[in-house]
Amino acid sequence: MERTFFHIFLNTPAGRENLLQSAYLAERTNPRSLSIFVPTADKCVMYCDHTVVTLDLDDSYLRHPETAKQHVNDALSDFKVTYDFFEPSAFTGGVMPDIHSDWALMTCPRAISQKSGRIGLGHIGPKIRAILAHASFPILIPSGNFKPWDRVTALFGGPGHGENGVQMAAAIADRAKVPLTVLTQLEKSTREECKEALAAINLSNRIKQGNADWRVFETGTLEENLFSITMDSLVVVDSGKHSIIEQVLFGSNLEKIQALLPNQLLICGPNCQSTIEF
């Protein structure tokens, strides 16, 4: 059975923009169905494979529940996606809705436990980090405003630093029939090492045949070279699986990327296993 995309709906104009980005990705990659959760409590519990994450929702998620579903219906009226409203069947402590983790993808803002007006570039909330660290699915971090994308860009840092993300980006680009770009900032790996790593995941032939563009930066800083990514691109970032995962996932590079890029970001955590889902 095909897994769906999971979306926690914020019933505000900003929440509508987030929903449009979920729907667009779902439409371009199958089309895939959406499962939309309209919260009725300020806390919910997500059960990942090896941990439990409690999401503390601020009161903006609970405003005007009587209009939430209609706003969803209106926002998605022009999309060719199927969707339903997620109804929890179990409650932790009798009050906190339980959310399973058998999703293909989850969409949520950079912070989920702060006032929506404070959610901005330069910060990924601790609850989202916790989900990223343990979930088997990637997380879509929306941009401020919905903008259709016409290409996919994967950030690849070398062996052990992005192969899964490159494969996912390639699969999405194939589904959406858009160009694929792999961007490499040479820091701790050589060009030859990167080339071998791409060959191991069958990307070399694709690049040689002109079906993907590999851009390698040997000079300049990451911040400077991010300027090569255009606004019409979905950006895929993979945290990698090495022992330095905490530094990559929670450290300076991810913060730089999401702080500087206004693009939609698809972030794959260390346990992400859903490349094949696309």
Residue 96 CA to its chain's centroid (Å): 25
- Residue whose C-alpha is closest to residue 271's, from 238, 248, 247: 238
Say what the pLDDT of residue 171 is.
Answer: 92
Q: Is domain 151-277 classified as CATH 3.40.50.10260? A: no
Q: pLDDT tens across 172-206, in order?
A: 999 999 999 999 988 878 999 999 999 999 888 88
Query: What value, to the nearest 5°, has the Cα angle with vertex 24 and ends 210 and 121?
Result: 90
Q: pLDDT tens across 57-110, in order?
A: 878 888 899 999 999 999 999 999 999 999 999 999 889 999 998 899 999 865
Give the Cβ contact number of residue 6 at 10 Å: 24
Q: pLDDT tens across 50-60, in order?
A: 788 888 887 88
Entry pTM? 0.88
151-277 has the same fold as 5-140: yes
Report whether 232 contacts 96 (CB < 8 A).
Answer: no
CATH architecture of 5-140: 3-Layer(aba) Sandwich (3.40)
> Can you tell me which residue has the tokens 């990451």?
222
* Domains of the chain, residue spans: 5-140, 151-277
